[in-house]
């Protein structure tokens, strides 16, 4: 079982081959992740609209919290753009690295951690988001959420549609 595939084992990428994996992985991961974020926020007395405005604040800054439905919709669109982007990256990588589909559960756990690291320590600091204090508890919850709600659904969807 090779870890890297050869060009003969992987035909060129086409949208018809990629679409089912990317659409299912992106939709599932996006829905699970935003649901988890809203559930966590709810335990702190914050509603789902505010969560979506927080996502939009990455682009708009604090002004997103003065917006209404428009900034909430923008937050949802940004969230799913990120989910589809993460799925696309995993899919393209899986065409070259066979391990990602051969050991999808392990790859999903690792990918969830990788997505967490990129989002929390690269993307968020470069955005206009005002992030609160980072605690051990919030970090553990964020990493587990990214493993269960992002990495695993993406890896398993890509594996499912890679046959």
Strands (E), the chain: none
pLDDT at residue 151 greater than cutoff 70: yes
pLDDT at residue 8 greater than cutoff 50: no
pLDDT at residue 154 greater than cutoff 60: yes
Question: Which tens digit of pLDDT belongs to each residue from 86-126?
Answer: 999 999 999 999 999 999 999 999 999 999 999 999 999 99
Of 141, 129, 114, 124, nearest to 41 by C-alpha is 141
CA 97/CA 109 separation, integer angstroms: 16
pLDDT at residue 7 greater than cutoff 60: no
At 147 the pLDDT is 98
Domain ranges of the chain: 16-160
At 22 the pLDDT is 96
Give pTM, 2 decimals. 0.89
**Cα 37 to chain center, whole Å?**
12
SS (H, E, C) 51-83: HHHHHHHHHHHHHHHHCCHHHHHHHHHHHHHHH
At 143 the pLDDT is 98
Question: Which tens digit of pLDDT belongs to each residue from 43-96?
Answer: 999 999 999 999 999 999 999 999 999 999 999 999 999 999 999 999 999 999
pLDDT at residue 128 greater than cutoff 60: yes
């Amino acid at each position: 079982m090779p870890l890297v595939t050869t060009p003969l084992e992987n035909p060129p990428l086409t949208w018809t081959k990629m679409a089912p994996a990317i659409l299912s992985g992106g939709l599932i991961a996006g829905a699970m992740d935003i649901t988890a974020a809203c559930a966590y926020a709810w335990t702190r007395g914050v509603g789902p609209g505010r969560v979506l405005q927080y996502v939009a604040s990455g682009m708009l800054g604090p002004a997103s919290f003065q917006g209404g439905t428009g900034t909430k919709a923008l937050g949802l669109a940004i969230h799913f753009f990120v989910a589809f982007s993460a799925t696309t990256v995993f899919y393209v990588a899986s065409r070259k690295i066979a391990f990602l589909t051969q050991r999808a559960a392990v790859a999903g756990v690792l990918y969830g951690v990788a997505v967490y690291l990129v989002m929390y320590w690269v993307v968020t600091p470069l955005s206009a988001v005002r992030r609160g204090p980072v605690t051990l508890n919030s970090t553990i919850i964020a990493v587990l959420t990214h493993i269960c709600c992002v990495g695993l659904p993406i890896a398993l969807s890509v594996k499912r549609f890679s046959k």
